Structures are given as C-alpha cells and as structure tokens.
Amino acid sequence: MHSAILLSALSGLALVKAQTEVGSNTAIPAMPTTTVGIPTIEGALVYDGPPVIGFTGPGGNASIQNGNPAASYEAVLPMNDFDSAGGIMIMGTITGTAAANGTGVMFNVSFTNFPSEAEYGPFVYHIHELPVPADGNCSSTMAHLDPTMRGELHACEAAAPQTCQAGDLAGKHGNITAANWNVMYTDLYLSTTPGSPYFFGDKSIVIHSTNATRLTCANFTMVSSTMTNSTSSPTPSTTITPFMGAASTSFGSVSVFGGLVAAVVAFFL
C-alpha cells in the first residue's frame, strides 16, 4: 500500500517539477495533501527557511489602498471549544475600519484564552478568501486573500509588507504569542471598497496553530458604513483558489519540488 502511495506521490511531484522552472511563477495544480501534524512556516509545509528578501508573486507588489470609504467590518469568534477535552475556547474579535484619511485599514485585534504556546503556538491568523459556511467548517474558507498570487513558498518579509499576501496579518504584523492578545495596527494593503481585490469585508478570519491546523474562524460583517445602500455585507466573491492545507497553490521557485519530496519521505519515517 505504501509503495502505491509513494508512486502516486512521486508521479504528482514529477508533474510539479515539469511545470515549475527556476525563477518562474507557474501556478501548480492543486494536489491532495495531508498537513495536520506536519511542521510548517506560516501555514506552508514546502519551505522552512527565512524570508527571501524581495520575493513576490506574479502580480508584483501589493498596492497601497487609497480612497477607502468609511466603513467598519468585524469578525466575532464563535463560542466553540476547539479542544473539548481540555475545555479550551479561543474567544474575541477583530475589527477593521477604514483609516480616517482613506488610506489603508486600521485593525483592532482582541483575542483571549489561547492554549499553551509551547504546545500549540506560536499562533498565526489570516484573512481567507471565502466566508465560513453555516456548518462552521474552517477549511471551506479556502486559501489566504492573495490578489498578487504570491503564495506561501517563502515566509512573509515583515519589513516589506507590500511583498506579502494581503491576507497574511500575522506575517505582516506579528504572530499571536500570548494567551490574551490585544494589538492595533494599520494595514495599507487592505480595502473597505467592495469589488476591490483587496476588499476583506465579505471574507473570514482564520486562526491556525503552529502546524497549520485551523483552530477557529469567523466571518467579517459590516458594523458601520457611510456608503449608500450598504445595510448588509456585500455578496462574497465567487473566485476560488484551490486549497492545499493552509498553503496557496501559486509558487515562484523550483525549491518547492525538494520541499514536497521531503514531506513525502517524512511520511514513511
């Protein structure tokens, strides 16, 4: 059985290698993969090195979002135990409000009751492309908001947030490293303008453990706005990026091949 699995995996890896060239940003087809329990960096299991200075996606750097209409969107985490045996329930809210000058979005993050960082952390959180469905399945939120198709082959370079995925809040502004986490910051690369590729108001927030397991998630909903006829949240986008665990499907280096081989080999160890 393991031989058959290995043959199938290596066939898929051969396809990846054939479609990926050094220096290219070829989009790799989605392939089934198991990520739970595999160490990752920012949710990506294909590369465990430091940020690569200046690395960006085929869409180039993210654009600073100017002219954002005055509006606020809030996501409230559900009252669900992610660990019923231990009675652990992460709670809290994240609110994004258009900056007073219309440039970027001011975020107020207030999360509480995180479990042991030594056991589960550090914790990361991202804006994901799709809202959480009625059944609360966090995996249905798909990949991170990533209008430049940067992917997650290399960790976000916090000193150059324009090169990161737009939805990678932890990468740009810091991981969650305490049981109670309260921070405020302005993100210049997110928008309150419906229809913008950087708009987050119809999307979701997802919190991951250090091994990419999705611990909890919630939808952003409008809490205030000065926009005309905006009494409810806009219709979610129908553009879907295939989900590979917590990693994107767009890569920019042949090093993904070696990383995936390592993951397959680790399966048999």
pLDDT at 258: 36
pLDDT at 83: 65
Return d(Cα 70, Cα 201) in angstroms, integer: 12
Is residue 201 packed enough to be buried (19+ CB in 10 Å), middle (13-18) or exposed (0-12)? buried
For residue range 237-252, list pLDDT tens digits in order: 333 333 333 332 222 3
For residue range 156-165, list pLDDT tens digits in order: 999 999 999 9
Return d(Cα 250, Cα 206) in angstroms, integer: 20
Residue 70 has pLDDT above 60, yes or no: yes
C-alpha distances in Å from residue 112, one per residue of 75, 81, 109, 115, 189: 14, 13, 10, 9, 26
Kindly report whether the global pTM for this prediction surpasses the value 0.85: no
Is residue 259 within 8 Å of residue 238, measured between CB atoms? no
Quick one: angle between helices 255-267 and 2-19, nearest 10? 170
Q: Residue 250: beta bridge partners?
A: 27
